[in-house]
A and B are shown apart, each in its own frame.
Chain A
């Protein structure tokens, strides 16, 4: 049983909390660090920087990824940019403003202390990345360039053409490989974590499967750090890489780690709408496009004319008219819901009527084709490769798609879960973004966690363990977990069903999208709560997994991941059902005002919902962490 949830958030003036806290944390002296072995799972921005930084400090680190190379983690795909309150543009940015914007953007569902710390370390992140050779965009004088990004009224976003994620990850990967070269970090690629081992309530190690040989084995350590990314692929179609999944955090959840706010998922407003039934994923068009593109649909329903033939007065630039001060730059959730409502009205565009226009003709007329191409050239090329249409001539078509998950394992201020010794970083944890993440803030958070937070906080946990060895993998708990993992794998393979893994994943995705997507209501969520277990049962009895357990078997890998996504999906529905309010990405149709804007309920729901696994047959147990707002008084988010 879990006692009261202690966030360990420090008190005192918000600007001093992190420094104070760091001063009060116990340290491990440099000579003793090599006596501690640490496991890091994940080599995205959060995992790679954590492993590299901890290795540099002298800890003995083992890092795991299911990818063939750390450089391929999903962080690589981030396009738009990374925030930092450097105020290089002299437009009034500050740590406080970034903090304030993030709290407000998250719709007052995040912890003030965590968010302030994030804003505070943001500047150091940029320094670190530049020193590591990240080629951010520059001005002619050689100084770093910034742009304004989704919902921000200052220019605080650093970017590297349309591939900020790749450039940041290459920086993190190179730092990691430097530690691999020095021997402080041991790298395990093509190795998937399939279980967390908990002994006496503490994280003691992990169980993994070698994806080439099928070998299932245990690794033990003094502490385990999960940096395994988000779970957007529960929707099947999302902007996430195909292999992204929830297994690492879900398995930890089943071993006792609380899962927080699972229903807080983010829909990104600017993605390419699906074009065919066998679509395997959706492609994001960077949000930066909204800086110059204008969003519109025809005024009348079922308008068949090509966009160029629709005169200006018959176009509805719905964001510009509805939200006068933010216009096309309203936050993601607001932009997404508005797109959904015009498409639902029958004013969608494109062959499947499933998109809205994002039109660059004014920007091209104002700034020239060259200027637009300099900013967005690679995105335009990407769009053309995918759709066969030229966005310099025809407006892009966009529609919202699932993109990011704010929910994740519950962590305290030290980024430790309720299980001592289990730390969670990056998108895998629930912290910092509340009910809605601002654009360009995920990269910032992953790097903050990996570069600056975990290296400072982990010693406080380790200090007590000085002189102890990690529990050896020969301990019975490891053996049991290995046996259970082998059994799960064997059962999936033995099942001679008649439908493929992808079939079930697609069907699951449809339920989750329909019932827990851009808009949710009690009836739909309740229906999903009976449909998902039914489909899950069918999955386990009728899935067909070809191949063998001892070779590379991609269908088997996917089957295990989809099995865990099923269980997570059920928890999402429960969480969405009990959160009787609309906030951020969680829009409950029952809770909206006369104009269709979200109605938050601070009196009853100003809390984090943290769920405890209670076994296969029992409903999960709800725990609450109350949120206190001492610095920023919650107000209604208004972008009008």
Chain B
């Protein structure tokens, strides 16, 4: 067990940037006495306490739940989205993953669709735009039938869930050489497209969300980095399913329009 392990000394290289318009730069900080049981963000908290007391501006970075579920946190750590541990959001990463005297580079997500707001904070509202384009089932409050009216095969429910587990962090975009958002969009689409409740709007939803995505993000060329970086291990298969749905959607939606 790691409690009682020797505290770590670290050299940090942290991206600092005043706002979207200004040039950024790396700044170096040496930090000693970090407990191996501390989380990565607690290490940054400590850095910020120190900077504040020295009369400097603390590093802006975002987090909220610190349990790997809200998707607020997200840093490039030594060039990897969310850092070295597979299937782990930045807030769940602990310092026992690093060795003493390690040099750690910390950067924000880098993608044209995620402009830097300040230091390590980026604007991910393009994700909300994709949802607004069609990431829902149109059912008004009060209009729902009994929940057990439609049995949902366990396999369908599980597959849908595997997609629904996406926390909207943006690591997939940050890890992608093209800054594509295919993994996020596919996770959101397949969550609904795989469920019986999601069928009525399946084709319209697919077309709308994919095309909204293309307004903001780059194109997918099947690198697969997204899935590796994803803290929720969202499978790249969902992208294939979405591509298939999209082709069908184009066909079906056009037929619908033609028939009108």
Binding site for B on A (CB under 8 A): 49, 52-53, 56, 67-72, 74, 76-77, 86, 88, 124, 126-133, 135-144, 160-161, 163, 165-167, 170, 173-175, 177-178, 180-181, 189, 212, 241-243, 275-281, 283-284, 350-352, 381-382, 385-389, 451-452, 455, 498, 500, 502-503, 544, 546-547, 551-552, 554-555
CA distance A130 to B39 in the complex (A): 36
Q: In the assembled complex, how far is the CB of residue A200 from the closest CB belonging to chain B, in whole angstroms?
A: 32
Beyond A189-B125, A555-B58, whether A72 also contacts B72 by CB under 8 A is yes
| Closest beta carbon of chain A to B113's beta carbon, Å | 14
CB contacts under 8 Å to A, within B161-207, are: 161, 164-165, 167-168, 191-192, 195, 197-198
Report B169 CB to chain A, min CB distance, Å.
10
Contacts of A88 in B (CB 8 A): 148
* Alpha-carbon separation in the docked complex, A133 to B134 (Å): 13
B257 at the interface (CB under 8 A from A): no
A132 touching B58, Cβ below 8 Å: no
* Contact for B63 among A177, A242, A389, CB less than 8 A: A242
Contact mask for chain B residues 1-45; partner A; CB cutoff 8 A; 1 contact, 0 none: 111100000000000001100000000000000010111011001
Q: Is the CB of A500 within 8 A of B1?
A: no
Q: Which 7 A-B pairs have the closest CB atoms?
A: A142-B151, A174-B136, A131-B144, A351-B3, A127-B144, A53-B141, A130-B147
Are A127 and B145 within 8 A (Cβ)?
yes
Shortest C-beta distance, A170 to chain B (Å), equals 7
Residues in A neighbouring B45, C-beta threshold 8 A: 278, 280, 502
Q: Are B68 and A382 in contact (CB under 8 A)?
A: yes
- Total interface residues on B, CB under 8 Å, equals 82
Cα of A189 to Cα of B72 in the assembled complex, Å: 13
- The interface of chain B, by Cβ under 8 A from chain A, is 1-4, 18-19, 35, 37-39, 41-42, 45-46, 49, 51-53, 55-58, 60, 62-72, 85, 87-88, 92, 94, 96, 117-118, 121, 123-125, 127-128, 131-148, 151-154, 157, 160-161, 164-165, 167-168, 191-192, 195, 197-198
Distance to closest chain A CB from B54 (angstroms): 10
A131 & B70 in contact (Cβ 8 Å cutoff): no
Q: A212-B117, A275-B37, A280-B45 are in contact. Are A174 and B71 (CB under 8 A)?
A: no
Cross-chain contact B66 with A281 (CB below 8 angstroms): yes
Residue of B nearest to A350 (CB): B3
Q: Closest B-chain residue to A86, C-beta based?
A: B147
A70–B46 Cα gap in the complex (Å)?
29
Contact check, B52 vs A546: say whether CB atoms are below 8 A apart.
yes
Q: A181 touching B161 by the CB < 8 A rule?
A: no
Chain B residues whose C-beta falls within 8 Å of the C-beta of A275 in the assembled complex: 3, 35, 37
A52 touches B141 (CB 8 A): yes
Report yes or no: A241 in contact with B65, Cβ–Cβ below 8 A: yes
A residues within 8 A CB of B123? Answer: 68
CB neighbours (8 Å) of B134 from chain A are 181
CA distance A175 to B134 in the complex (A): 10
Contact B132 A71 (CB under 8 A): no
Residue from the list A163, A382, A385 in contact with B165, Cβ < 8 A: A163
Bound Cα distance from A387 to B5, whole angstroms: 13
Among A74, A124, A350, A502, contact of B64 (Cβ-Cβ < 8 Å): A74
Question: Shortest CB–CB separation between residue A189 and chain B, in angstroms?
Answer: 7
Cβ-neighbour of A386 out of B19, B60, B94, B128 (below 8 A): B94
Known pairs A56-B140, A160-B161, A275-B37; list 7 more (Cβ under 8 Å): A130-B147, A135-B164, A138-B157, A167-B164, A351-B3, A388-B37, A546-B55
A72, A242, A502, A552: the one contacting B118 at CB < 8 Å is: A552
Given the known inter-chain contacts A177-B131, A546-B52, A552-B60, please indicate yes or no for A74 contacting B1, CB distance below 8 A: no
* CB nearest to B5 among chain A residues: A388
Contacts A126-B147, A278-B38; A68 near B66 (Cβ below 8 A): no
Distance in Å: Cβ of A387 to nearest Cβ of chain B:
8
Question: With contacts A68-B72, A278-B38, A278-B42 known, is A174 near B195, CB below 8 A?
Answer: no
Residues in B with CB closer than 8 Å to A69 are: 124-125, 127-128, 168
* Cβ contact within 8 Å between A382 and B92: yes
Report the separation of the CA atoms of residues A52 and B140 in the bound assembly, to the nearest whole angstrom: 9
How far does the alpha carbon of A625 sit from the alpha carbon of B50 in the complex, in Å? 49
